[in-house]
Amino acid sequence: MKQTLLMRRRIAVFFLLVTVAYSGLAARLFYLQILNHVRYRSEALAQRLREIEIQPKRGIITDRNGKKLAINVSLDSVVVNPRQISDPEKVARELAAALEISPDQVLTKVKKNTSFEWIQRKIDPDKAKRVRDLKLEGVYLVEESERFYPNGTLAAHVLGFAGIDNQGLEGLELVYDKELRGTPGRFRGETDAYGREIPGGKKQYVPSKNGDNLVLTLDEVIQHIAERELDRVMQETQAKGATIIVTNPRTGEILALANRPTFDPNKPLAVPEINRRNLAVWYNYEPGSTFKIVTAAAAIEEGVVKEGDGFYCRGGMQVADHYIGCVTAHGSQTFAEVVKNSCNVGFMTIGLRMNKDRLYRYITAFGFGSVPGSDLPGEAQGILLPLDRVGPVEQANIAFGQGIAVTPLQMITMVGAIANHGVLLKPQIVREIRDESGNVVKAFSPVEVRQVVSPGTADLVARLLEGVVEDGTGRQAQIPGYRLAGKTGTAQKIVDGRYVSDKHVASFIGFGPVDDPRLAVLVVVDEPKGAYYGGVVAAPVFKRVMEDSLRYLGIPPAALPEEKEETERAVEVPGVVNLPPEVAKKVLEERGLPYKLEGEGGVIIDQTPPPGTMVAPGTRIILVQGEANPSPGMVTVPNLKGQTMRQAAQTLAEIGLTLKPVGTGLAVSQDPAPRTRVPAGSLVVVEFRPPATEEQAEGTEPPVTP
């Protein structure tokens, strides 16, 4: 009886425990399946889903006319799913051979317990084909886009470059990375434990949003012109560096900005870091005489000088206990002549007529001492002495561009204010942001910073600068038919705290046409070898950039005044060397030029004046005949004396010879000598020397001497 009762109690306890256990299990199942089913179902799904990020296409960058400066190209990247690879050693060995990389590097990744590993990204098509032909298990090619700059080095310092993940790293690629990059999308698909897609499994697709496009203010053609001239001046002068900036002074838009040395944004790490620095916005240099524009504008606005005021230069001037020299004794001059001759004494005199507070007010109003705000990264603000450290000597030095450091972008912004009737504009490099459909997301308009000087003052300064080009130190910047304003600059550099006589910065800055300014151009050449005057080194570069850009923009030359009518009718002498006499006669007759034949022979072996010379209509051209060399491929070396480097290069190129220039200026000697017969393609070494001009009256601003 007792045993039966005990057995019943045990059975009751057992059933009670079972009931409690099942009740707990039921409660747990209710909690999991009913109360939290959404959470656990999503977690379970997440374990089965493999997510692949879909990269958007980076927005393109174009010039103002839609010419593409930065685009995207599609390349294949190699990825593996280690869980699908049964023979890692074989896959690593064959894949490494196809990609030309270390097998150990591949093996480490294919042995990982993951379902996705990058092996090599953005490979060339040949490697992609080799990988595709292998047909290895667990190895896939994924299409990715890579940034490509179709023009190579063109506008490299403006564009910058992007990294392997299409992230902006320098230049506008960095500044506008958020707008250009876009928004990634994603694809999710259900996979099994081995990473294989489950047929009929759940899929999720969120499309990516491509980046917006940048439309710059740059003009690709003008940018090409500027970079072409930079390459030329670097070759001719063997300079350390050079910068050219071209703007529209009415809007502040930057039409071209280029530096040397430079780099290819497709291979940015192939050159030293210094090559990637944007000298146009970063380089601090003493402006020399180009800064006299600021002094002149301030003095005229303050009423301390008038155009006809007289000055006398004895070759230097005593300021406090220092004697500050001028390159030469200019004697008696009007203020207009002081500007034209770039006289240091004259500018020191008018600079000291203003107290330093007034002078500094205009310096800062023109934007010096602060960043211009162009959106280009790395902008420097220049170097200004604190006002409390400016005494009479420092004030006199600053008046002619010494003892102050500026950037090229600050200088072109300043001269743009003079061309724009005294209104300073913020430099602009981005014109619009557009979406991938071409709709304007954001448009940028000219931004007026301030009215620095009155329109009357600005127009008077422009007239004075026009005299510099017409009959002053900037005569080599003249372009027939165009009224141009400009200023030369030649500054000694400071090394170890002292001015040195063998390192200079040559520059020229100007705008035109004066009556309706369409272009402002700055040329800065750092440490040119040989000639170093701004009027000899930089002014001709300014001329070529301005001339080609004006013609490209369709801006016609103005009608010349009557006294210049003869010059307007001048005829350029064509090159007829190496032509048969009958052909040479016809070429000259078409130009309205008479001729005189000397000697005998079947070809013209020399001519006077040389090709490229501008002569009055009716000028007789002397042609010298000689025997044609029966040897094929032989040509006669023409007489190049008096020609510019451009004319000499063109003359030689027309007959199949190559120029090797030495120096700058006009041709004074050559090797081989004129009339020598040489094989086509031969090298002609020509020595160039600067002509004796009033540029020598500007010279280098000498350092202060006690």
β-partners of residue 254 are 247
Round to whole Å and give the CA distance between 350 and 371: 28
Peptide bond into 513 cis (omega under 30): yes
Would you call 511 exposed, middle or buried from its count of C-beta atoms within 10 A (0-12, 13-18, 19+)? buried
Angle at 213 (CA atoms; ends 52, 74), nearest 5 degrees: 45
Q: Are 147 and 58 in contact (CB under 8 A)?
A: yes
- Given a contact cutoff of 8 angstroms between Cβ atoms, the answer to whether 505 and 285 are in contact is yes
Give the DSSP per-residue string, 505-535. Answer: EEEEEEEE-TTS--EEEEEEEES-SS---HH
Active-site choice (42, 77, 102, 289): 289
Q: For residues 407 and 280, is the Cβ–Cβ distance under 8 A? A: yes
399 φ, ψ (degrees, to nearest 5): -60, -30
Q: Tell me whether the omega of the peptide bond preceding residue 261 falls within 30 degrees of 0, making it cis.
A: yes
Distance, in Å, from the CA atom of 160 to the CA atom of 265, rounded to the nearest integer, reads: 7
- State both tokens at 487: 């200023």
CB-CB contact of 354 with 298 (8 Å): yes
How far is 670 from 679, CA to CA, in rounded Å?
A: 16
The two structure tokens encoding residue 583: 């052909």
Reduce the DSSP state of residue 481 to 3 states and report it.
Answer: coil
**Letter for the amino acid at 503?**
K
Q: Are strands 603-608 and 498-512 parallel, antiparallel or unpaired?
A: unpaired
H or E segment to which residue 258 belongs:
strand 253-260
Residues 6+ apart with CB under 8 A from 500: 492, 493, 494
R_g over Cα of the chain: 37
Burial of residue 187 (CB within 10 Å: 0-12, 13-18, 19+) is middle
Annotate 595-609 with b (16+ C-beta within 10 A) or e (fewer).
Answer: beeeeeeebbbbbeb
Active-site annotation holds for 77: no
Instruction: Give the separation between CA 650 and CA 572, rounded to whole angstroms.
Output: 13
CB 427 within 8 A of CB 379: no
Gap between the Cα atoms of 77 and 85, Å rounded: 18
Distances (CA, A) of 108 to 83, 102, 104: 13, 10, 6
Q: What's the rounded Cα separation, in Å, for the pair 568 and 615?
A: 10
Cα–Cα distance for residue pair 694/340, rounded to 1 Å: 9
CA distances from residue 54 to 48, 144, 206, 209 in whole angstroms, order as listed: 19, 9, 9, 10
Return the residue matching tokens 């010059």: 567
Instruction: Tell me the catalytic residues.
Output: 289
